[in-house]
Amino acid sequence: MMLAILDVRTRQGRPLRLWLPMFLVWLVLAPIALIASPLLLIAALALRLKPIAAAAAVIGLLTALSGVRIDVDSPGAQVHIRIL
């Protein structure tokens, strides 16, 4: 199971840590994917790519996200995102 750990630390306040199961993120993104899929199909056909191979590449990219770490530092806060 993939988890995303969101850690927000402000300069003045208490740190906030959220553990998010990635299936919740996928549920939120699923309607966007359904709306965008016809456009991606047209783009794949226009670029002469195989639509099934392009979809498999996107799915492979999404499943390979395990181990990604994103660190954002700003003057007001630090945001750290890890995907396990």
pLDDT 10s digits, 27-72: 888 899 899 888 888 888 898 988 888 888 888 888 888 889 999 9
Q: Which pTM was predicted?
A: 0.64
CB 9 within 8 A of CB 78: yes
pLDDT value for 59: 83
pLDDT of residue 45: 87
Mean pLDDT of 2-8: 90
Gap between the Cα atoms of 33 and 40, Å rounded:
9
Residue extents of the structural domains in the chain? 3-83
> Which element (helix H / strand E) includes 7?
strand 3-10
Res 72: pLDDT: 93
Amino acid (one-letter) located at 70: I
Identify the residue with better confidence: 1 or 3.
Answer: 3
pLDDT at residue 43 in the model: 86
Per-residue pLDDT, 1 = 61
